[in-house]
């Protein structure tokens, strides 16, 4: 079975989408439509912007969404998904590509999400860090202890076996990194992100996004989408909306999502969007499943 996966924030790079824009007339129509919907030429930032410009949440999220959805809808072999999933922001790309949202509604939601998250980031200094080579349970336990001491930090992205991202206040993440290295983590690397995504610190953004989601028409997607919050397949528009709202303050259960897709028959994964980060995680998840 064919599965299509869509990356999230962090996969962006300067020049993203330019080759597609130059070579594919249909892609060019979508890119220009995106400029019109947003009211500014985001393609100029995507094609020629600096890394610093592209790192702004309000630019990154719509840029990755546009590139991902257009990549899927202009595939030479056609886009014929039997299941889809997206990592964080990528969930909205997956929903749009699979027909649950129109391109216009999907992009408008992504932009509102990006602005809401950027505003939430400005309320309190916060960050994220990647933890390498520790069991999930150890990371969860140490984060819980530090949070109980007054500095919020939680497990945010379960990317693949041995790679988990934590999220919280700057103090909480710094404290957790030290404790996790002491517990045997091979690396504890603070990420260059705008704030504590997928943590309780995103509550203000969640409330804002919920209103926008309620006002948007969702359709039944053409195939199941495996959502971040529960790693389960969904086609019911109301369930999809509830899970999208919950996603902002809940962890991304990517490892469990990929494992469930494989259990449900996925034999081929195609990544739609900038980079190949998700393909790397899928290889590690597949290798972990194959171990006796």
Active-site residues, by number, are 88, 198
Buried b (16+ CB within 10 A) or exposed e, 183-217: eebeebeebebbbbbbbebbebbbebbbebbeebe
Assess contact for 69 and 96: CB atoms under 8 A.
yes
Closest CA to 273 of 24, 106, 32, 66: 66
3-class SS of residue 184: coil
- 197, two tokens: 């995504």
Closest alpha carbon to 205 in 96, 88, 53:
88
Closest CA relative to residue 274, chosen from 4, 9, 16: 16
């Amino acid at each position: 079975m064919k599965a299509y996966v869509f990356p999230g924030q962090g996969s962006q790079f300067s020049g993203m989408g330019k080759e597609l824009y130059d070579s594919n007339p249909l892609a060019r129509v979508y890119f220009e439509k995106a400029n019109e919907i947003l009211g500014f030429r985001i393609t100029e930032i995507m094609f020629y912007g600096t890394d610093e410009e592209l790192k702004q949440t309000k630019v990154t999220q719509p840029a990755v969404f546009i590139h991902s959805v257009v990549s899927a809808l202009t595939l030479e072999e056609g886009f014929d998904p039997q299941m889809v999933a997206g990592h964080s922001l990528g969930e909205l790309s997956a929903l749009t590509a699979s027909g649950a949202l129109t391109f216009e509604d999907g992009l408008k939601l992504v932009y509102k999400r990006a602005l809401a998250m950027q505003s939430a980031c400005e309320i309190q200094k916060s960050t994220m860090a990647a933890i390498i080579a520790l069991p999930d349970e150890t990371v969860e336990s140490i984060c819980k202890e530090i949070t109980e001491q007054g500095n919020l930090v939680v497990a945010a992205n379960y990317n693949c076996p041995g790679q988990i991202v934590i999220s919280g206040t700057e103090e909480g993440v710094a404290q957790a990194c030290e404790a996790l290295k002491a517990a045997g983590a091979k690396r504890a690397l603070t990420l260059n992100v705008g704030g504590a995504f997928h943590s309780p610190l995103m509550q203000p953004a969640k409330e804002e996004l919920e209103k926008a989601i309620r006002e948007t028409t969702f359709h039944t997607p053409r195939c199941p989408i495996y959502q971040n919050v529960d790693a389960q397949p969904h086609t019911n528009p109301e369930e999809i909306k509830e899970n999208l709202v919950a996603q902002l303050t809940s962890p991304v259960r990517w490892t469990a999502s990929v494992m469930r897709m494989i259990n449900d028959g996925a034999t081929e994964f195609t990544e739609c969007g900038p980079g190949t980060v998700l393909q790397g995680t899928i290889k590690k998840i597949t290798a972990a499943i194959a171990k006796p």
